[in-house]
Amino acid sequence: MNIDHIAIWTEDLEKEKEFFLKYFDCSAGEKYVNPLKKFSSYFITFSGGARIELMKKDDITGIRRGETIGITHLAINVGSMEKVDNLTALLEENGFEIKGRPRITGDGYYESVILDPEGNVIELLGNGL
């Protein structure tokens, strides 16, 4: 068994899609639109095969930011400790909030923690320990 994808409701579907395409090694499938349900989505596929479904529906309006009950973060392995450092610096330079600077965690990961355009928590992981 394996997880096929994780889905994320979004306020701005295009902005979230562009965030992932700009900063991570991934691609977006064709936009799916269901006008009857006022629903649209993109599947974002990472080079390793993992997928995220970014979804937008007009009547989904609740906003969850940061740490709450439920899925708490998305961890993306960017390949190396150096890439964690470089991507964290680039995201900060581009105005994204850094919640945790690059460091070795108590459980042995090298990671930083950032917020995406809509406040979702993303851990950037690097190999090399």
Cα distance between residue 88 and residue 98, in whole Å: 8
Domain count, the chain: 2
On whether both 69 and 96 belong to a single domain, the answer is yes
For residue 46, what is the domain's CATH number?
3.10.180.10
Cα distance between residue 42 and residue 29, in whole Å: 6
Do 54 and 39 contact (CB within 8 A), yes or no? no
Q: Kindly give the residue spans of alpha helices, DSSP state H, lying in the chain.
A: 13-23, 81-93
Of the candidates 34, 62, 90, which is a domain's last residue?
Answer: 62
How does pLDDT run across 108-117, given as a tens digit for each residue? 899 999 999 9
Would you state the pLDDT for residue 70?
72
On whether both 13 and 52 belong to a single domain, the answer is yes
Residue 77, domain extent: 63-129
pTM of the model: 0.90
How does pLDDT run across 41-80, given as a tens digit for each residue? 999 999 989 999 999 998 887 776 666 667 789 999 999 9
pLDDT at 22 over 70: yes
On whether both 95 and 123 belong to a single domain, the answer is yes
On whether both 78 and 127 belong to a single domain, the answer is yes
Would you state the pLDDT for residue 59?
86
Would you state the pLDDT for residue 1?
86
